[in-house]
Structure 1
Amino acid sequence: MSCLEHPLDYEPGGLHPVHIGDTFAEGRYEVIDKLGHGCSSTIWLARDLTTASYVSLKIIEADRSESSTELIVLKHLEATFDAEDEGSQHIVRMLDHFVHEGPNGSHLCIVQEFLGPSMTMKIEGNSAASKSRARRIAGQLLHAVDYLHKRGIAHGDLHTGNILLCIPASFSIDFGTPIRDTCGLPAKPSPHRPKYLVGPISERVPNKFIRSCMAKPHIKVCDFSESYMTGMTEPPPLASPHILRPPEGILGDLPHATLQTDIWGLAVVIFQILTNGGSLFSSLNDDYTLETIVLTLGKLPEPLWRSWSNREKFFDDDANPVLQVDSWSGLSGISSKTYLKETIGHWPVAKEEILALEAMLEAMLRYDAKSRCSLSDLVHCDWMVGYGHRRGGVDVVVATQTDMDRSISVQEGSRKKTKKSRRNKGKKGGK
């Protein structure tokens, strides 16, 4: 089965073995299903038996729990929460946190809102409605990152998998039975490993549920495990996908994410969202990413240009493309310069919008990191004012915990668990 964590990650100091029906925080949170996993955590759909609501439960591996900076960032976000700021509506909320002792060590556990699918899926269709949804999502994302930056937080990992859709109030969904898988697990049982792995719920989500979430999309940014915050003494190293990194993040020695790396990566993601999966730059490897950056934006400034050791395979000293030979086919050719205006020009919208978008992206994709346009200015740029802002205020009703409790059902074996079959049996867990 795809999308499963590696069984060898379950060892002392590693992931905590979790089974459907397990409880945490003195019985308060009951595991219902699997939402996914990251490089150092698993994320579960759980039921808060104290409030009778669904939540997301992130369990960090033991060796990373003590050094994790995610909780620091989330606490800061809660302490500085401002409901009047539009960006606050687009950042996931932390509900609780605690430490769980297990066979593999002490695990930091973070409880957050339960949200819908991520933006890794493409926006269906090329209609005016689909373009409107894409603009809406891009605008909300700009407000979300502006909200973070005003609090001194660089997200550090702004890919589409960390942009989640909220669940609308008018929905009803049955996620079915959690999929258990023993493939890859050693036959000999061990207290350090689960008896089975669980497939993520995303593999069983019906298309109608995704369409419901996308009808009037409302996004929230999640996962602050790679974030940097002003004053942080031991921030996590820069870990965003290289396709989202600026040249100084690929060639330089940046110790951590910055507001400026966020701005560059945000431009790449916005283009991806607006063009339904299109890419500004190549993701084949670092050299091809840098090649397409130079073809689109021009020659890199020094010392970055000289620090690119393979530049001579692609360009002469004046950044003119040179003849390349394909190692597989033996065919040769010269890459063409494709300027940002030409790349954006393929997007089938009015010329006025293309010009506004080009101006916004150019301001975000400047080689000089200090001159990149700040989010506080970007949220007032021509593209945002004309196309990215919501019109008429909030026009989508996001599901409350009560809505989800009424509308979600998950099956365990042959027994379906809903509000009627689960009562408040847990004790309140402390933070």
Structure 2
Amino acid sequence: MLKRRFVPCVFDEVENVEDYQPGGFHPMRIGDKFDNGRYRILHKLGNGGSSTIWLARDEHSSESGVGKLVTIKALRADASKINSPELVVPTLMPSSESFDFYRKVEDNFAVNGPNGTHMFIVYAFAGPSVRAISKSPENRRLRADLARKIAAQASSALQRIHHAGFIHGDFTTSNFLFRLTDDVHKWSDDEVYFQLESPETDAVQMLNGQPIGPQVPSEVTEAIDSFIFFENDLLQESIVVVDFGQSYAASEPPKDYKPRTMINYMSPETRFEGRVGPESDVWTLGCAIFEIRAGFPLFDPFFPSDAVILTKIVGTLGRLPDPWWNVFKNRHLFEEDGRPKTNGIAVTPSIRELLQSIGTRDEILDSDGGSMFEQTETRIDGTEVDLLVDLLEKMLRYRPEDRIGVDEVVNHSWFKV
């Protein structure tokens, strides 16, 4: 393990400052300009393991007298590739005026910095991810009709991806972003900071008291609170699918493919064999549909280790098939038929029991959080539970060849409740 160099940041939702090193993140601050001054950084939208994501203004465009607001994804140097599928795959997807559920690249350019050469990718400005809802400590969830609508859009998007001959590879709620209302795209800088609050920063300091080097920004910026968008009704009831960085043509799977899906979304064949295909996309979509409707992950990653997640999966879905069962490290907690031992772990609720529990343990909140959310203590009726259980159990079968395909998902009766 590398020795820690920096004083820990006061913010929880920021990138790891230790990753500002050769091959890592590019040091950035509010007000920085890129691509010969074209893009000016206004605020921080988020970060991931391979990138930081920023709100910027395109000074070379003009909408209502001001430059267009855009999202810039600044990739780590060691994740920057000229032929990245994130750049290539969206351009090969079929376009249609009646179907626009995936976000395309608007621009890209390279930035040379102290940590290497970084690919910057420019997209239209979009809102927070669906996953942001399940990360809320207040246990909110979308209205029932809206949850089915968003799940239907995600399913249709995956259907188009598969029909076009591609595997997405990371089809999770982190990569479903809400669209913004039209007025947001017309904001001035002052309106951005009034509506989304001014950026909060924390100075970067070395543990040894020495000055920081050029590889590190002088301060890190906290991302915008996702719930501002919901509370102020700044979002449309529509999503776009993003992040094709793990995508590939189904006819030409890469030989050195390394799956990077979140462990609580990872299909059994991906977890045990490193295989990713249309069936594993269906598995991740099943996990996403549950999360969209329930407001929390199906296989809750509260203790995010592979062993804990897999134990939850077995507790919910039953015994793994051979040979996976024999390499499952925690099988001693279960009987050979997959039932939890009474002196082992607490019984994990089934999908049906989890859905039936929704609304029974809601917090009473001071505000409704915006028009997109369901009223607290609202239960799912029995008819919808039956249909959703039927859909999810068909999508989350262990063996990939036993799962339904995305065409059958799209046409399932649950979406029509």
Q: Output the TM-score relative to the length of structure 2.
A: 0.79
- Asked if 1:11 corresponds to 2:9, the answer is no
Contact 1:228 / 1:236 at 8 angstroms: preserved in 2? no
Match 1:162 to one of 175, 186, 194: 175
Q: Provide the rounded CA distance (Å) in 1 between the counterparts of 2:59 and 2:413.
A: 47
The residue number in structure 2 matching 1:196 is 219
2:323 to 284, 303, 307: 303
Aligned 8 A contact 1:7 1:184 in 2: no
Structure 2 unaligned spans of 5+: 1-10, 62-66, 359-378
Range with greater deviation from structure 2 (154-163 or 269-278): 154-163
Q: Is 1:30 the counterpart of 2:40 in the alignment? A: yes
Alignment CA distance shift 1:14-1:295 (3 Å): closer
Which deviates the most, 184-193 or 89-98? 184-193
Evaluate the alpha carbon distance shift between residue 126 and residue 25 of structure 1 in structure 2; reply closer, same or farther with a 3 A threshold: closer
- Identify the residue that residue 201 of structure 2 maps to in structure 1: 180
Structure 1, 272-281 or 257-266: larger mean CA deviation: 272-281
Partner of 1:394: none
User: Once the two structures are superposed, what CA deviation does each residue of 1:245-275 show, in whole Å capped at 9, x if it has no partner?
Assistant: 223333x1215x3222221121112111111
Distance in 1 between residues matched to 2:151 and 2:174, nearest whole Å:
14
* Structure 2 residue 128 is matched with structure 1 residue 117: yes
After superposition, the C-alpha distances for 1:230-254 in whole angstroms (9 at most, x for unaligned) are: 325355411212211223333x121
Is contact 2:72-2:120 (8 Å) kept?
Answer: yes
Between the aligned partners of 2:160 and 2:202, the Cα distance in structure 1 is 40
**CA distance in 1: counterparts of 2:17 and 2:212, whole angstroms:** 12
Residues 271 and 280 of structure 1 are in contact (CA less than 8 Å); yes or no, is this contact kept in structure 2?
A: no
Distance in 2 (CA, whole Å) between partners of 1:346 and 1:127 is: 14
Structure 1 unaligned segments of length 5 or more: list them.
Answer: 326-333, 388-431
- Describe how 1:338-417 pairs up with structure 2 within 5 A: 338-347=349-358, 348-384=379-415, 386-387=416-417
- Provide the residue aligned with 1:246 in structure 2: 267
Residue 116 of structure 2 corresponds to residue 95 of structure 1: no
Cα distance in 1 for partners of 2:400, 2:214 equals 49
Give, in whole Å, the separation in 2 of the partners of 1:154 and 1:232: 9
Identity of aligned residues (%): 30
Q: Do residues 105 (structure 1) and 124 (structure 2) align?
A: no
Match of 2:52 in 1: 42
Output the CA distance in 2 between the equivalents of 1:225 and 1:169.
28
1:320 and 1:107 map into 2 onto residues whose CA distance is 50
Instruction: Read off the aligned partner of 1:145 and give its amino acid letter.
Output: L
Aligned to 2:312: 292
Question: What one-letter code is carried by the residue in structure 2 that aligns with 1:226?
Answer: Q
Give a deviation string over 1:63-91, Cα, whole Å, max 9, x none: 2213x76x3243232233321563xx221
Q: Provide the residue aligned with 1:220 in structure 2.
A: 240
- What is the letter of the counterpart of residue 260 of structure 2? A
- When structure 1 is superposed on structure 2, of 355-364 and 195-204 the one drifting more is 195-204
Q: For 1:336 and 1:21, how far apart are their aligned partners in 2?
A: 52
The residue that corresponds to 2:64 in the other structure is none
Q: Does 2:153 align with 1:140? A: yes
2:78 to 63, 84, 92: 63
**Does the 8 A contact of 1:13 with 1:63 survive in 2?**
yes
CA contact (8 A) 1:60 1:108 kept: yes
| Candidates 264, 267, 277, aligned match of 1:258 | 277
Residue pair 1:131, 1:274 contacting (<8 A) in 2 also: yes
Q: 1:9 touches 1:15 (CA, 8 Å); kept in 2? A: yes
| Aligned length, in residue pairs | 368
The TM-score with structure 1 as length reference comes to 0.76
Secondary structure at 1:202's aligned position in 2?
coil
Residues 248 and 304, structure 1, Cα contact 8 Å, conserved in 2: no
SS of equivalent residue, structure 2 residue 53? strand
Residue 228 of structure 1 deviates from its aligned partner by 3.6
Which residue number corresponds to residue 92 of structure 2? 79
Larger radius of gyration: 1
The question of whether the paired residues in 1 share the 8 Å contact of 2:141 and 2:292 is answered with no
For 1:331, the equivalent position in structure 2 comes to none
CA distance 1:4–1:261, shift in 2 (3 Å): same
RMSD: 2.9
| Structure 1 residues 266 and 367: CA distance shift in structure 2, 3 A | same
- 2: CA distance, partners of 1:126 / 1:72: 35
Q: Secondary structure at the match of 1:324?
A: coil
